[in-house]
């Protein structure tokens, strides 16, 4: 039997969502004057979690943090089936107000609406630790821990803080968590019969096609890795060009090669060198070492892994030709994810019921939903962001679109929860 279409007071939801985002853009919630910058185990991140905790506790939710700091809040006792909503509220180091945070705020708004409308939906809100990887260089870290896609050795030793080089384990303990119980994080997913994450699109398909909502049915996979080129640091003035082992030149050749490989691969494959570190990084010294990151993604795993393999081989050869060496090291990789047809179908029906323009689409950006979709039927909802700008303080989105997204998610969850109340 079709459940009735719920309509919410979108004005009120828009106002509350706008207020939440505005508050979380204030100085207590970011360590940067120019951008939103907050990540695991920092005071600004703690303040952000505490903001959501106060709001959720005022709704009567029971909340806890998993052994490493992912926030979980539920309106049913543990062990009872619940539907999951949420995203992440940490940010890119040069972040905007909306990436991740808008999804947690929309999830909070769904929790409010559920109470106000007396729907009695069983809900669990999750805000994942370290989605951006700003603290330890490891994207989707909290949800990968929850999915068991890390090793204890990586948590104890391999994953090091960008700021001080100390281990994830040390930082988690210092922040009062119990990383020794990291495998218990998986239990957060035990009671979930579905999951939906709202997120800004971070591209411009919705804007260019005048749609307000994207119903996301697949997420591109990625490989994150580093190449380190070993040359020799020399005097920039006294060293003839023919005697140099300039590691920076090999990095430069690789960056252009990556562009050619990604373009040639097609099928939506993309490649980016986002980090480049020259040592000693001085105006009057030939770079002896160059370390650069690789972010290679796409919906076709064979295509983006081939690009990565070919770039690694090219780097070694380009270095050898110049009398240097280069080493390639993978940080992490996730396969592309097809999302749940049942959840996508319920979202599509709810979007149709809203009467607002929407489109089915894939995500080129990575999201925590990738980590949990293997265990919980999952899907995502996108809202537009201006000109697709993200990972930038210029990021802009409209709380009214998020209010519409919350209404659509509420309808989908209501349909998917028939028989649970």
Closest CA relative to residue 328, chosen from 255, 224, 249: 224
Minimum Å gap between C-beta 157 and ligand HGY is 24
Closest residue by beta carbon to ligand HGY? 366
Measure Cα distances from 265 to 225, 259, 262, 302 in Å: 19, 10, 5, 10
Site for ligand HGY contains 395 (CB under 6 A): no
Q: Does 366 bind ligand HGY (CB under 6 A)?
A: yes
Torsions phi, psi for 207 (to 5 deg)? -60, -45
Closer Cβ to ligand HGY, 3 or 392, answer by number: 392
SS3 322: coil
Site membership for Mn ion, residue 179 (CB under 5 A): no
Residues 245-266: b if buried by 16+ CB within 10 A, e if exposed? bbbbbbbbbbbebbeebbeebe
Looking at 105, 139, 146, 406, which residue binds ligand HGY (CB under 6 A)? 139
Judged by CB under 6 A, which stretch of 115-123, 131-139, 261-269, 368-376 contacts ligand HGY?
A: 131-139
Q: Per rule CB under 6 A, is residue 252 in the interface with ligand HGY? A: no
Residue 182: phi and psi, rounded to 5, are -55, -30
Best CA proximity match to 252, nearest among 278, 281, 226, 285: 278
Within a 10 A sphere around the Cβ of 163, how many other Cβ atoms? 12
Instruction: Assess contact for 196 and 343: CB atoms under 8 A.
Output: yes
- Answer positive or negative: Cα dihedral of 228, 229, 231, 233: negative
Minimum distance from CB of 366 to ligand HGY (Å)?
4
| Residue number, 36 or 123, with CB nearest to ligand HGY | 36
CA distance 103 to 380: 10
The least distance separating ligand HGY from the CB of residue 365, rounded to whole angstroms, comes to 4
Which residue's CB is nearer to ligand HGY, number 59 or number 365? 365
Residue 365 or 389: which CB sits closer to ligand HGY? 365
Q: Which is nearer to ligand HGY, 179 or 364 (CB)?
A: 364
Query: Residue 202 has what DSSP assignment?
Result: S
- Three-state SS for 251? helix
Nearer to ligand HGY, 48 or 233 (CB): 48
- Options 64-72, 100-108, 268-276, 338-346: segment touching Mn ion (CB under 5 A): 100-108
**Contact between 229 and ligand HGY per CB under 6 A:** no
Q: Quick one: which of 119, 349, 365, 400 contacts ligand HGY (CB under 6 A)?
A: 365
Number of residues that bind ligand HGY (CB under 6 A): 5
Rounded-to-integer distance, Cα 63 and Cα 291, Å: 42
* Residue 122 vs 137, nearer CB to Mn ion: 137
Q: Report if residue 132 touches ligand HGY, rule: CB under 6 A.
A: yes
Q: How far apart are CA 111 and CA 113, in angstroms?
A: 6
* Beta-strand relationship, 123-128 and 213-219: unpaired
Nearest CB to ligand HGY, comparing residues 140 and 250: 140
CA angle, 361 as apex, 417 and 409 as ends, to 5°? 25
| Chosen residue from 20, 65, 131, 368 binding ligand HGY by CB under 6 A | 131
Q: Which is nearer to ligand HGY, 55 or 132 (CB)?
A: 132
Does the footprint of Mn ion cover residue 99 (CB under 5 A)? yes
The one of ligand HGY, Mn ion, none whose footprint includes residue 366, by CB under 5 to 8 A per kind, is ligand HGY
Q: Does residue 100 interact with Mn ion by CB under 5 A?
A: yes
Give 267: exposed, middle or buried? Use CB within 10 Å, 0-12, 13-18, 19+.
exposed
Residue 247 contacts ligand HGY per CB under 6 A: no
Residue 155 and residue 182 in contact, taking contact as beta carbons nearer than 8 Å: yes
Binding site for Mn ion (CB under 5 A): 99-100
Binding site for ligand HGY (CB under 6 A): 131-132, 139, 365-366
């Amino acid at each position: 039997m079709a459940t009735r279409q719920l309509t919410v007071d979108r004005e009120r939801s828009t106002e509350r969502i706008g207020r939440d985002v505005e508050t979380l853009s204030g100085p207590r919630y970011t360590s940067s004057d120019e951008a939103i910058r907050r990540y695991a185990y920092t005071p600004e991140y703690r303040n952000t979690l505490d903001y959501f905790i106060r709001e959720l506790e005022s709704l009567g939710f029971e909340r806890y943090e998993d052994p490493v700091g992912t926030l979980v809040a539920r309106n049913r006792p543990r062990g009872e089936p619940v539907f999951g909503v949420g995203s992440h509220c940490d940010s890119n180091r040069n972040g905007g107000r909306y990436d991740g945070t808008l999804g947690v705020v929309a999830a909070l708004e769904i929790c409010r609406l559920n109470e106000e409308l007396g729907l009695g939906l069983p809900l669990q809100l999750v805000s994942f630790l370290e989605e951006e990887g700003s603290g330890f260089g490891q994207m989707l870290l909290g949800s990968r821990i929850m999915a068991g896609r890390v090793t204890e050795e990586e948590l104890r030793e391999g994953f090091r803080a960008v700021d001080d080089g100390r281990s994830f384990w040390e930082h988690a303990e210092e922040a009062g968590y119990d990383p020794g119980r990291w495998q218990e994080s998986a239990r957060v997913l035990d009671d979930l019969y579905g999951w939906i994450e709202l997120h800004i699109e971070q591209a411009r398909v919705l804007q260019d096609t005048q749609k307000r909502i994207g119903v996301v049915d697949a997420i591109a996979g990625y490989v994150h890795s580093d190449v380190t080129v070993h040359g020799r640091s020399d005097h920039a003035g006294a060293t003839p060009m023919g005697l140099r082992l300039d590691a920076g030149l090999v990095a430069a050749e690789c960056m252009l090669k990556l562009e050619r490989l990604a373009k040639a691969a097609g099928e939506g494959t993309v490649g980016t060198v986002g980090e480049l570190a020259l040592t000693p990084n001085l105006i009057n010294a030939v770079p002896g070492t160059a370390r650069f990151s690789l972010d290679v993604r796409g919906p076709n795993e064979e295509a983006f892994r081939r690009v990565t393999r070919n770039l690694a081989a090219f780097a070694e050869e380009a270095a050898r030709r110049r009398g240097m060496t280069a080493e390639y090291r993978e940080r992490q990789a996730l396969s592309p994810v097809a999302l749940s047809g049942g959840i996508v179908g319920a979202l599509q029906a709810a979007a149709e019921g809203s009467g607002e323009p929407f489109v089915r689409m894939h995500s080129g950006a990575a999201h925590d939903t990738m980590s949990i979709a293997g265990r919980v039927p999952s899907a995502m909802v996108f809202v537009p962001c201006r000109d697709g700008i993200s990972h930038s303080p210029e990021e802009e989105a409209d709380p009214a679109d998020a209010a519409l997204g919350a209404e659509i998610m509420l309808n989908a969850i209501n349909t998917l929860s028939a028989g649970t109340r």
